[in-house]
Structure 1
Amino acid sequence: MFTTAWSASPQLPAEGFTPNWSREGFWRQSVRQVVRLSAGGGRLRIRLSHAYGTSPVRLAGATIGRTAVGAAIEPGSLRRLTLADEIPARGSLVSEPVDLAVAAGDSVTVTLYFEAATGPATFHAQAFTVAYRGQGDLLDGAGADGFDAVSESWYFLAAVETDSGRTDGVALFGDSVTDGFGSTVGADRRWSDALARLSGRPVLNAGIGGNLLLNDSAWYGEKGVARFRRDVRGLAGVDTVVVLLGLNDLGFSETDDQPTYQPAPVVEAAELIAGHRELLRQAQGLRVIGCTLPPFGGSDHWGEHAAKVAHELAEWVRCSGEYDAVVDLARELADPGDPDRLHPSYDFGDHLHPNDLGYQVMAEAVSAVL
C-alpha cells in the first residue's frame, strides 16, 4: 500500500509575491525539483497535478533519484519513471512505481522534461527550497550541468508516495505559516519538517501562502473549505489533520496597500467558526486538531477588528469541544510582556510569521497531542 511521503497543494499560475515560471510555463526544457520525504520505503511513485490547466500538458519523460547536492543526483540512484505522456486538463497523473530505497528524512530529486510548450503551469508558489531549469532533455544526467536557472516554487509535482504502508500520516492544513514562510530557505525548517522529525510519522504540508478559509484568491489559492477534499482527503495514509487557518481572512481586510490581497471582505467570528465547522464536517473519519491563530500584533494584518475576531475565534477553538484536540498557539508563541505579539525570539521579523525556532516550538506543541 502506498503512503504519501511528501506533498504540495496545487495553485493557479500567478505571480503573487514570489517570482516564478508558472505563467510562462516550459518548452523544450527540463525542470529538476528536490523534495524531502517524511516516510521511507523501497518503491516510489510521483503524482503530477494540472488542476488549473485548460488544456492537456504533454510530458516527454520523468526521472527520480536520491538527492546529492544542489541539482545533482546521487550516482547510481537515477530511475526512469513510467507514466502516461499527458497530464489531463484539470486532472492528475500518477507514475508506475520504481524500485528505490529511501528513508524518512531523505531527499529525492524529480526531473520532468517538456518537449512541447506547456502553457501556464499548475504550481505551488512557495517551496522555500530551490528548483532548477535547463534547456533540452536533461533527464538522464545525474550531474547539475545544464541547470542554469533557479526558482523557489514547485511545478506540476503534487506528491511523492512510497510503499511504506503507513496509515498514521498527519496533514497540516493552513496558510503561509504552515507553508513555512520565514523559515530558512533550503534547510527544511518548516514546522512540518520539525514535526516529522519529532513524531516519526509521515507529515504532509497542505499550506498555501496567503490562503483564506472563506474566500478564493487569484494569487493565494482556492478557499480552504473548497480545497480541503483534494489537499487533505486526497492524501494516501493520512489519519490526522491539523487545522490552522483564518489569519488572512482577518488580516487582508486590515491591509489596504497590497493589491494582491483584494478583494478581502470583512468577516466576523461567526463566519470563521462556520468555516471551521465545514472543515470538521469534511474531515469526518479523521482525527482533527484545531489551532488558535498565532499572535500577530504589530503586523500589517493587525487592527482593531482583526484583534477582536481573533480573540473570539480563539475562545471558540479552546472551549467549544468540537475539535478532537486543541493546540493553543496564541499562548505558546506569545510575548509574555504583550500576549498579542509573537515572542521576539520566535519572530521572523514581520511580527506575523515565526522563524525557525518559532516553527520548532509549534511542532513541539502539536507533537505533544498527536
Structure 2
Amino acid sequence: MSLAARTSAIAALAAALLVPLAANADAAPNAGGWVGAWVASAQRPTAPIWYPTWAETGFADQSVRQVIRVGAAGSQLRVRLSNAFGTSPLRLTGGTVGESAGGAAVKPGTVRELTFHGSAAVTIPAGARAASDAVQLPVTAAEQLTVTLYFQGATGPATYHNLALATSYRAAGDRLRDQGAQAFADQSLSWYYLEGVDVTGRDPSVVTFGDSLTDGYGATWGADDRYPDELAGRLAARGNTRPVLNAGLGGNRLLSDSPCMGERGTARFRRDVLDQPRVGTVIVLEGVNDILGSQPGATTCEPPTPAVTAADLIAGHRALICAAHARGVRIVGGTIPPYQGNQSYTDQGDRVRQAVNQWIRTSGEYDAVADFDRALADPADPGRLRADDDFGDHLHPNAAGYLAMAKAVDLDRL
C-alpha cells in the first residue's frame, strides 16, 4: 500500500468512527448521567469457537440467567441489550436483575423488574440495542449481579460474547423471579444479548480494547483475574473508583473481519468504546491476530489474509487515535507481547510485531504507552513469554501473566 493510499485509508476509517451518535437514548448510551460499570463486546452467532454455545439456535420459551461483576458503585443501574447481529427483530418478554447469591441463585429481596419505556417487554430491531429504564438497586464496585432474560417466542440465532470465562444458565419457561437455582440446569460459558450495565456515577471509565489478551483467554475460569480485572484492583487499592471495562474480543483483528471472531477493531471501536457512557481513557492492544492470520495455520474462523505490514497496522492504530481524540478520549497504546514458540510464529511476523511496538513506544502519537511486551518477555529470550507467565500456547498469558500486564499500566497516566 502506498503512502497516499494509507493516508486515505486512515482518513476513511476515522471518518467512519466519527459518525454522530443517534439522539435516541436506546441507540446512544452516552445520553443521561450514566457511567459504564460492565460491558461485553458483541459478536456474530457462529459454531462453537472455544466452548459449546447456545448462540446458533437461540432461545424459545426459555429464561437465560447471566452473572456479571460490575466495576463501579451507584444508587441506580440500567441494563443494555444488543441485537447487533440479529437478522430479525428480537422480542424480549421480560427481564430482571438482582444481587447474585452464587451460581444461578439470587439474594432474596433483591430481584427487580427491568422495564423499557415503562413496559416489561421490548422489541429490539435487527442491528439495534435497547437500554432499560433506571432500576432502583444500589450496587457496590466488584459486586456480582444476576441478569435474567425471558424469551417466550423463538429468538433465532443470538448476538453473544463467546469467551465469558463465567457461567451462564438456562431454564425452561418463565423463571424471571426465581431466587433459587434449581430450574437452571443448563450451563454455558458465554454471554447472550447482554451488552452492558451502567450505574449512576461520576468517575469516567477506562475501557480496555483488544483481542483474547484483553478478553482473558488463559485466565482462571470464574476468578476474574484477566488483566482488566487486575487493573481495576490496582486502581481500587489506591482509592480510585474509576471502573475498568473489558472490551476484549477473542481472536479479534485490527484490520480485517473474521466469520467467528468479530468485526475488525477499526469497525467496532465506535460501538465498543466511543459509544460507552462517560469514557475517559481507552487502552488499545491489537495486532497480533492480524500478524498470525497471514501466517500458516489459519482456520475457517480465522481465514488467511494478505501479509500485513507494520505500516498497515500503524495506519489502523492511527485511525483509533484520531477517533478517540476527536471525542476527547485519552488513548493508551499497548505493545504486542512476544509469541515465539506458538504454532503460527514466523520470523517475518515477529519483525512486524517489533516494528509496530517500536512505533508505539517512540512515535508519541499515543497519549501514553503500556509496555506489555517488556512486562511479559523472558529476559533471557525476549522473543518468548516468560515461562511462569505462559498459559502453555506461548501466546496467551496465565493468571500471573495477566497480573504482570496490569502492573505494566502506569496508573498516573490514565
Q: The TM-score by the shorter chain falls in which range?
A: over 0.9
Q: 8 Å contact 1:65–1:73 — kept in the other structure?
A: yes
Greater strand fraction, Structure 1 or Structure 2: 1
Q: How many angstroms does 1:367 deviate by?
A: 4.1
Distance 2:86 2:410 in 1: 37
Q: Residue 367 of structure 2 corresponds to which residue in structure 1?
A: 324
SS at match of 2:177: coil
Q: Residue 41 of structure 2 corresponds to which residue in structure 1?
A: 9
Q: Residue 142 of structure 1 corresponds to which residue in structure 2?
A: 179
SS at match of 1:178: helix
Q: 8 Å contact 1:198–1:367 — kept in the other structure?
A: no
Q: Provide structure 1 residue ranges, at least 5 long, that are not aligned to the other structure.
A: none
SS at match of 1:47: strand
Hey, which bits of structure 1, 4+ residues long, moved more than 4 A?
Answer: none
Q: Residue 77 of structure 1 corresponds to which residue in structure 2?
A: 110
Q: Identity of paired residues, percent?
A: 50
Question: Which letter does structure 1 place at the counterpart of 2:91?
Answer: R
Q: Residue 340 of structure 1 corresponds to which residue in structure 2?
A: 383
SS at match of 2:332: strand
- 1:246-273: CA deviation from partner (whole Å, max 9, x where unpaired): 0100012223263321133210000000
Q: 8 Å contact 2:106–2:179 — kept in the other structure?
A: yes
The size of the alignment, in residue pairs, is: 369
Q: Residue 74 of structure 2 corresponds to which residue in structure 1?
A: 41
Q: 8 Å contact 1:248–1:301 — kept in the other structure?
A: no
SS at match of 2:196: strand
Q: TM-score, normalised by structure 2?
A: 0.87
Q: Residue 111 of structure 1 corresponds to which residue in structure 2?
A: 148
Alignment of 1:55-134 (within 5 A): 55-83=88-116, 84-134=121-171
SS at match of 2:351: helix
Distance 1:134 1:98 in 2: 24
Alignment of 1:1-370 (within 5 A): 1-15=33-47, 16-83=49-116, 84-167=121-204, 169-200=205-236, 201-256=242-297, 258-284=299-325, 285-368=328-411, 369-370=413-414
Distance 1:260 1:222 in 2: 12
Distance 2:199 2:343 in 1: 41
- 1:297-332: CA deviation from partner (whole Å, max 9, x where unpaired): 111231122111011111111111101101111111
Distance 1:190 1:212 in 2: 19
Distance 2:291 2:409 in 1: 23
Q: 8 Å contact 2:297–2:344 — kept in the other structure?
A: no
- 1:117-159: CA deviation from partner (whole Å, max 9, x where unpaired): 0000000111000000111100010110111111111000000
Q: Provide structure 2 residue ranges, at least 5 long, that are not aligned to the other structure.
A: 1-32, 237-241
Q: 8 Å contact 2:50–2:163 — kept in the other structure?
A: no
Q: How many angstroms does 1:165 deviate by?
A: 2.8
Distance 1:263 1:174 in 2: 20
Distance 2:362 2:202 in 1: 36
- 1:163-190: CA deviation from partner (whole Å, max 9, x where unpaired): 12322x1001100000000000111111
